[in-house]
Amino acid sequence: MEEKGFWERLQEIYEAFVFVYGFVLLIIYGLFAMLSSSSIRKFLRKNSYVDYNEIIDSPLAPNISVIAPAFNEGVTIIGNVRSLLTLRYSKFEVIIVNDGSTDDTLEKLIKEFSLIKVDFAYNERIRTEPIKSVFKSTDSAFNNLVVVDKENGGSKADASNAGINASAYPYYLCTDVDCILAKDTLLKLIKPFLDKERRVIATGATLRIVNSCKIDQGELVEVIPPKKLLPRFQELEYVRSFVLGRMAWSRINGLLIVSGGLGLFDKEVAIRAGGYDHKSFAEDIDMITRMREYMYDNKLDHVVEYIPDSECWTEGPSTLKVYSRQRTRWGKGLIQYMFNHRKFFFNPRYGRAGLLTYPYFFFFEWLAPFIEFFGILLYIYLISTNKIN
């Protein structure tokens, strides 16, 4: 029998590796499906009798700050802020952080909501770019609106941190000002904080694509699936990611990401973890990882929860140019994240997040593009050498 050469042997090993890799990934997806299904059933059973109005009526319900950074959002800002102000909850404030907009965002806000500058004692618990002024409305209808005007920090993270510093309440909802939230978002997201015996440090919910939906004055009138191909693919990707992946990770308390578009956080833990990293390209996953790191390092029991309800609608890229920019940012963010939090890698100190979630991200999110790229190269090589049977 002819002895196999080095390259042939290497090719065999690589093929076996790719087979095992794909096989393991499929098994993981199978497990995700089971865990996610169990998580969703548990959620539905648990909440089938819940009357969310009890939270609205109760004096025991915690207060929430809604933080929405805005940069050059002049076209849509008024409708979006009005939409945030009409969320259903008993006691909440809406903090709009104007992150040094160069358009008329601030002027529009001042005019529409009768804002005036106030002497606000800004407590800089997290370092941010300087605050220029803080505005409050003289119209009592908008007395829960705070507008923070600051120097541009070059990132959403810096603006979010300024919002956290200006917030008065123990929980904050982080969103984008152009995201459209369901009216019951605060009620649904605060519920996991209330019904767990363990300390919940963050809750997330499903995001959807708004592109073809009917909107009126910042309000979602009708949900319609995206008509264009790219946003439609992204909608599918969101369903896979949110309903399958995150629900499954949440089931085993291994979740390491809550979307930047929508997440409710324990403010104290977020501040102690140092707030959002303004240098990060993926500040959402980075934030949760640092919050978890803080909790694990201090041996504090905690959970990160996810709910399977669609609570937030966001614009998906509809052109290849924007799509490519988004993917490049996500890719850069993932590489940066994997490097910054490398101490999580198979580290039992960080529980399931260290033993399962982080390694999963490493092998099946970070490594996947490389494997796919080598797969294409190998495929071309096999075709060109007539080795495909």
Partner 1 sequence: MYLLNIFETWWNEFNNSFYNFSPTLYNNFASFPFFIQLSILFIAIAFFTTVVTYLRLAIRRAVGYYKELRKQQYTPIIEQLISDATIMNEELHSGMQVEDIKLDKHVVAFEKELPIKRKYIRQIVIDDMMHYKKIFFGDAVLLLKQLFIDLNLQKDALAKLHAFNWERRVKGLRELARMEVTVQDVNILPLTNSRNYFLRMQARSCYIRISKNEPFKFFDILKEPLTKWDQIDLFEIISTTPNLNIPNFSRWINYSANNSLVSFCLKLAVYFNQQDAIPSIIELLKTKDHNLRAEAIITLGQLQADEVEDMLCDMYNNEPQICQVAILKMLGLTASKKHTDFLAKQLQYSSEYDIKLTAARSLIAHNEATKNLLDDLMQHTSGLTQAILKHSLNPLIKY
Asked if residue 30 binds partner 1 (CB under 8 A), the reply is yes
Asked if residue 89 binds partner 1 (CB under 8 A), the reply is no
Q: What track of x and - describes contact with partner 1 for positions 276 through 305 (by CB under 8 A)? A: ------------------------------
What is the C-alpha radius of gyration for the chain, rounded to an integer number of angstroms?
23
In angstroms, the CA 65 to CA 265 distance is: 10
User: Closest CB to partner 1 among 57 and 297?
Assistant: 57
Pick one of 120, 330, 345, 366: the residue that binds partner 1 (CB under 8 A).
120
Alpha-helical regions (H) of the chain: 6-47, 53-57, 77-85, 105-112, 156-166, 185-194, 229-238, 247-251, 267-272, 283-297, 320-340, 351-352, 358-360, 368-384
Burial of 214 (0-12, 13-18, 19+ CB in 10 A): exposed
Chain Cα centroid distance, residue 62: 22
Name the token pair of 134: 């803080």
Position of tokens 């949440």?
250
Instruction: Report the nearest approach of partner 1 to the CB of residue 374 (Å).
Output: 18
**CA neighbor of 257 nearest in space, from 186, 214, 203:** 203
Asked if residue 137 binds partner 1 (CB under 8 A), the reply is yes
Instruction: Report the nearest approach of partner 1 to the CB of residue 204 (Å).
Output: 19
> Which 152-171 positions form the footprint of partner 1 (CB under 8 A)?
168-169
Instruction: Report the nearest approach of partner 1 to the CB of residue 316 (Å).
Output: 28
Pick one of 36, 43, 55, 307: the residue that binds partner 1 (CB under 8 A).
55
Pick one of 1, 2, 5, 121: the residue that binds partner 1 (CB under 8 A).
121
Asked if residue 52 binds partner 1 (CB under 8 A), the reply is no
In angstroms, the CA 54 to CA 57 distance is: 5
Asked if residue 138 binds partner 1 (CB under 8 A), the reply is yes
Asked if residue 116 binds partner 1 (CB under 8 A), the reply is yes
Residue 196, φ and ψ in degrees, nearest 5: -105, 140
Asked if residue 208 binds partner 1 (CB under 8 A), the reply is no
Pick one of 25, 28, 40, 61: the residue that binds partner 1 (CB under 8 A).
61
Region near partner 1 per CB under 8 A, out of 116-124, 283-291, 305-313, 347-355 = 116-124
The angle that helices 77-85 and 105-112 make with each other, rounded to 10 degrees, is 50
Strand partners, 307: 205
Asked if residue 143 binds partner 1 (CB under 8 A), the reply is yes
Asked if residue 326 binds partner 1 (CB under 8 A), the reply is no
In angstroms, the CA 279 to CA 283 distance is: 8
Asked if residue 118 binds partner 1 (CB under 8 A), the reply is yes
Name the token pair of 73: 């959002």
Q: Applying CB under 8 A, which residues contact partner 1?
A: 16, 19, 23, 26, 30, 45-46, 49, 54-55, 57-62, 93, 116, 118-121, 123, 136-138, 143, 168-169, 191, 193-197
